[in-house]
Amino acid sequence: DIQMTQSPSTLSASVGDRVTITCRASQSISSWLAWYQQKPGKAPNLLIYKASSLESGVPSRFSGSGSGTEFTLTISSLQPDDFATYYCQQYNSYSGTFGQGTKVEIK
Amino acid sequence: EVQLVQSGAEVKKPGESLKISCKGSGYSFTSYWIAWVRQMPGEGLEWMGIIYPEDSDTRYNPSFRGQVTLSADKSISTAYLQWSSLKASDTAMYYCARRDIVGATPGLYYFNYWGQGTLVTVSP
């Protein structure tokens, strides 16, 4: 099984900050990685797929990069609506393992 | 508009059976894989399995194989997740989610549409 590890688990930041979340895979997954945002009591929302492709309707302040085993999600200027939990998900294998999540909190 | 609408919250006792549903609309239901994702209280997301409604081709996360059953009724555009004997550890929110990519070819399981979730509580 491919394991996904996110860091940090929690991140405290202020509005306007540049925020970076890292996701590492236990083996190479090429670019088969997605990022989701989840707010309390809501379903996840797809932000990025294929490591760096922005889903339609997602603000351009979100970007993804990486390939192989190391990936990042960057929010260029944190907005009040961005305080949430973020998950990476690999879909290289015939499954879809998620990372454990990164909670972005208000500093 | 694509929508996945899930059945309502359930409260069950250990040992009881349960079947929850996910009804798709606004797209060709038979042409997209539908997954089920578990989120235990205060925890992260776990991919349970996925089904292709056209032919009910089903793939399970090994951790969930034998614990749950996925099915679909394409005549009513509905996917199901069922348990034959619930445990307290099945208490969780369960989401259905639609694969972004159309077609029967398995793999590339990432999801651009999600249901609102069904909360299942199992308590004596």
Residue B104 scores a pLDDT above 90? no
Q: Kindly report, residue by residue over A12-35, the tens digit of the pLDDT.
A: 999 999 999 999 999 999 999 999
pLDDT at A101 (0 to 100): 98
CA atoms of B84 and B117, how far apart (whole Å): 20
CA atoms of A81 and A51, how far apart (whole Å): 22
Quick check: A46 contacting B, CB < 8 Å? yes
Q: Kindly report, residue by residue over A27-83, the tens digit of the pLDDT.
A: 999 999 999 999 999 999 999 999 999 999 999 999 999 999 999 999 999 999 999
Alpha-carbon torsion, ordered A53, B24, B67, A28, to 10 deg: -10
CA atoms of B58 and B80, how far apart (whole Å): 12
CA atoms of A75 and A62, how far apart (whole Å): 5
Q: Which residue of B has its CA nearest to A92?
A: B108
CA atoms of A58 and A63, how far apart (whole Å): 10
Q: Is residue B108 very low, low, confident or very high in pLDDT (cuts 50, 70, 90)?
A: confident
Please report the residues numbered 5 through 34 in chain B whose beta carbons come closer than 8 angstroms to any beta carbon of chain A: none
For B49, how many CA atoms within 13 A lie in the half-sphere containing its CB? 24
Q: Give the residue from A11, A7, A30, A9 showing the smallest Cα distance to A106.
A: A11
Strand order across the A53-54 sheet = A10-13, A102-106, A85-90, A33-38, A45-49, A53-54
pLDDT at A93 (0 to 100): 79
3-state DSSP assignment of residue A90: strand
Residue B10 scores a pLDDT above 90? yes
pLDDT at B107 (0 to 100): 85
With CB atoms and an 8 Å threshold, state whether B108 touches A98: no
Strand pairing partners for B45? Answer: B39
Q: What is the mean pLDDT of residues B14-21?
A: 98
Quick check: A17 contacting B, CB < 8 Å? no
